[in-house]
Amino acid sequence: MFGMGTIFNTIAVLVGGTVGILLKKGMPERFRKIVFDATATAVFLIGLTGVMSGALVAAEDGSISSQYVLILLLSLASGAVIGEALRIDRGFDRVAEWIKRKFSGGGDSKLGEGFAATTILFCAGAMAIVGSIEDGILGNPTTLYTKGVIDAISGVIFGSVYGVGVLLSAGSVFVYQGVLTLLASLIAPYLGDVVVSQMSLVGSAVLMLIAFDMWEVRKFNVANLIPAAFMPLLFSLVQNLF
């Protein structure tokens, strides 16, 4: 069935986030803090691994060289400008405020932050891009099934920290991966291995910033960097036009 991988992934996030919310009520603050820090470490390492595997190339003689560094820089810079112009972070905040009003008396003060962080966590990685393309072009949802299991486990952890914001991010997963799956069949000739690798590289770099935000090392408007992950595709389309 077309798009079944995205549907499964969306349900997995909802289930994992719900379990996390239920556990939150009985989880002492010190346990939530240590789980939060440990999760931030895992997020950082996942992002770092994605950047290293995408940007570094090992030659037959054992030497290591870099690739796509310029694309990474241009994508982050141009994506940040677009994100700031669109004020995506304000969009997250508006949705979060609506949910607070909808669930008055039980709102989570970290709702907007959790929505933004988990949306990028679930959507910016290589598996979301590659899995959606495989589902759209080949009708093979296996990668998204695997991602769904991983996201369900992450949802438990983030649900215990962020609360309802994690459940809202399931909608982001559904729209993001659903659109990618649909577009994959339409723009398949332009989505070669190089473009997919570049999109995954940029997404992994953005993912790393979430960890710094979670550690409170520095506050980043990571939501405004979401367009950066799509810039390699835009660059490729423009290049093909000329």
pLDDT value at position 235? 92
Q: How many CB atoms lie within 10 A of CB 41?
A: 13
pTM: 0.72
pLDDT value at position 115? 81
The answer to whether the beta carbons of residues 6 and 177 sit under 8 Å apart is: yes
Spell out the per-residue pLDDT of the chain, length 242, in tens.
668 999 999 999 999 999 988 887 655 667 767 777 887 788 788 889 889 988 988 877 878 888 999 999 999 999 999 999 998 888 877 876 776 666 544 455 577 777 877 887 788 666 787 788 778 877 788 889 888 888 888 888 888 878 888 898 899 899 989 998 998 878 767 677 888 888 888 888 888 887 887 788 887 788 888 889 889 989 988 888 87
| Nearest alpha-carbon partner for 8 in 190, 189, 160, 140 | 140
pLDDT value at position 164? 83
